[in-house]
Structure 1
């Protein structure tokens, strides 16, 4: 076995990042297999590879026993002591059995096995690289499509975008560049399988982290995300420092930051609201752009009854209940919306009770909606 083989192993470790020990173990296993196959040996053998000389040696391993039952695997204590008086029962004795022409045969037999182990090791390296990207956003290029997936080239691997994770408002064309959210990385015999999404709420969160430095460095925190992909989303933000405007930080100058995210999501409407530990304020903010008159809180059931002006009822509920539904997902509170008239009829508001809208609703909301910021 020439030293060129060991040079090649060193090269594979440096260029492909494959652990040298993995390659050496694969080579040893291949040589043992070749020896047993070509020389029809059932003997337990060990292969020793000498990197300095480039030599290869095969040793038969036999256990020392009192009475030999299997000559291929065992040697009597009397025979062993003839070789070395220090041997004892249950010791293992090794005898070199390297055939003269084994180098040529072994090289041929080992080639396929080593190649397979190299492929497996490469897959392991790729898996290790991408498994750390779960819950992250990556940019790729659409390669092809079938009935189940859109396949996206992420560099060293092809990711799968299932139909269920595709935005209904988007069309996916081959060679298009696209950002995706990595939901799962699995290892398999054929290499790593990476599944990605365009509808996951995590995509919206990561895009804000990429566009808003204050979120990336922790100055502003994202507390919750509610998303109906391709149509509308709500995101709540909070700044521990009262001097910092978390909503304004996300919006950016002239709406530049949030508009970049809207463009990436092909026009998806995004409401940005300020989080509050007070459920009255938080629920009111979450229902924006609707104006809220009063919020009645039932802590035990984590439920709220929200009273809005009659003319704001449809805006608070939203088309097909979307605004109320997203607000409930965002806050984690059940939300029952009633008009002012209905609330007075049910006794939730006294007939002579007057409420100022501004007592509850704060300027802590921004809606990134094309053309009309208060269009629902």
Structure 2
């Protein structure tokens, strides 16, 4: 026996459930099929909680009409022992007078028959499933878009986090990924870079950044067509977000100037990027395969006099004019630090006067291999052919390399090294004595000049003209130490240089 299902009224609890489902479908853009399947599963679960886990309940959602059809099928028996699967004959005949023992009795159910608690549980299942479906949709839509720049609208700013509306999804811009100067309010438009899509996150799954170096690359692609079309290639980016950035560029077309194209007419292109980044200064550097040339360019706006690769220490020694040292270092060592990051080289900055002193010291410290008395003419020639031209070269060379030279045994090598050490120590003492004598002479000269300035001359009592001449000399006297004072910026510059070396590395 089958009973015809009645139309379930879409009022009360049923109406609330339908409205909730319709609203979720609109706001979350979830597939209706998923909603229907979830609703049917939720109502089935609610029905079994009400009538028993073994109850034969059928739930069907008629989408066109918005009706929910639910039927409970039980076997008619004389005395029901299992209410979930059986119904008393007497109770069945109250619904259908011709009901007989052994027949299947189909009872229509409404949402009210399930009880409010069961309906609430069904709604909870529906909401939970919709959330899961939404998270899956967001992950599928955006996990392939990591590395893209997106545009959105600020929805909310809470505890430093900026929540951004992206089409049908929500993203978050954490404080650590924000530029310090950024100030956003609800409704503001914002550009950012997708750095991750977290499927397991409790909040928004899409993580944005405005401090990532690649965000700057995407901005150049949006503002400079040649970059987007790969005519101009961005080889590297070094950023200190909100403060300064250096970008190395290379043109794949000889007719197009990479730097000029990125800057734009009257700086229009790069200025648009600077405004987007809140005033972050951008240096555009022509890329070069030659490390020396590339490092020289990367230290712009400072002008480099000389750059030399120091292979042993894997660094580049850069010499600049004394008045360019602070510019090359930059505020807080920023210029040198960004240049090192951009080029991948450790950069050692030094002023020209300091470099000249170093070269002079190296020249005076040099001891030619000919000065070794323990080495005869033929042995010296063999050492020179092996690349050992000075005593310093000999002391730096590994013992295995020295023993590899024909005619040199272990004892000879030890004798050569011992004499080389003695010669170097002797030369060191001589240079130290020269420095001490020069310092003493300079101190004595300064004392004499100071004493002469303090002495009163008998001529001071002479004619007014003579007094005027003397007072003119006294006025000029303080200008004499100026060359010595000029050394002070070099010393402070040297200190700053030492600090910057560690920063740049």
User: TM-score w.r.t. structure 2 length?
Assistant: 0.53
1:81-120: CA deviation from partner (whole Å, max 9, x where unpaired): xxxxxxxxxxxxxxx9885134545797445533442343
1:19-66: CA deviation from partner (whole Å, max 9, x where unpaired): 4553454244324412321112347x7968597999767799xxxxxx
Contact 2:298–2:339 under 8 Å retained in 1:
yes
Counting matched residue pairs gives 316
2:332 alignment counterpart: 320
2:253 alignment counterpart: 241
Shift of 1:317: 0.9
2:428 alignment counterpart: none
Q: 2:161 aligns with which of 149, 152, 158?
A: 149
**Alpha carbons of structure 1 residues 126 and 236: separation in structure 2 relative to 1, 3 Å:** same
C-alpha separation in 2, matches of 1:308 and 1:269: 23
User: TM-score w.r.t. structure 1 length?
Assistant: 0.70
Shift of 1:206: 1.1
1:215 alignment counterpart: 227
**Alpha carbons of structure 1 residues 219 and 181: separation in structure 2 relative to 1, 3 Å:** same
1:100 alignment counterpart: 107
Could you say which structure has the greater relative contact order, defined with CA pairs below 8 angstroms and 6 or more residues apart? 1
Pairing 1:185-224 to 2, within 5 Å after superposition: 185-188=197-200, 192-224=204-236
- Determine which structure has the larger strand proportion and give its number: 1
1:306-354: CA deviation from partner (whole Å, max 9, x where unpaired): 1122222111111111110000111111111111222222229999xxx
C-alpha separation in 2, matches of 1:19 and 1:143: 25
Q: 2:178 aligns with which of 155, 162, 166?
A: 166
Q: 2:30 aligns with which of 15, 18, 28?
A: 18
**Alpha carbons of structure 1 residues 12 and 135: separation in structure 2 relative to 1, 3 Å:** same
1:91 alignment counterpart: none
Pairing 1:1-376 to 2, within 5 Å after superposition: 18-19=30-31, 22-42=34-54, 99-102=106-109, 104=111, 105=113, 109=119, 110-188=122-200, 192-299=204-311, 302-347=314-359
The structure with more radius of gyration: 2
Shift of 1:271: 0.2
SS in 1 for 2:308: strand
C-alpha separation in 1, matches of 2:230 and 2:147: 18
C-alpha separation in 2, matches of 1:349 and 1:244: 47
Shift of 1:258: 0.5
**Unaligned runs of at least 5 residues, structure 2:** 75-81, 83-102, 364-505
Of the structure 1 ranges 191-200 and 19-28, higher mean CA displacement relative to structure 2 is found in 19-28
4+ residue segments displaced more than 6 Å: 1-5, 7-16, 50-60, 348-351
Contact 1:127–1:192 under 8 Å retained in 2:
no
CA RMSD of aligned residues (A): 4.0
C-alpha separation in 2, matches of 1:99 and 1:300: 91
**Alpha carbons of structure 1 residues 13 and 168: separation in structure 2 relative to 1, 3 Å:** closer
Contact 1:181–1:197 under 8 Å retained in 2:
yes
C-alpha separation in 2, matches of 1:38 and 1:323: 73
- Determine which structure has the larger helix proportion and give its number: 2
**Unaligned runs of at least 5 residues, structure 1:** 61-70, 72-95, 352-376
Of the structure 1 ranges 175-184 and 46-55, higher mean CA displacement relative to structure 2 is found in 46-55
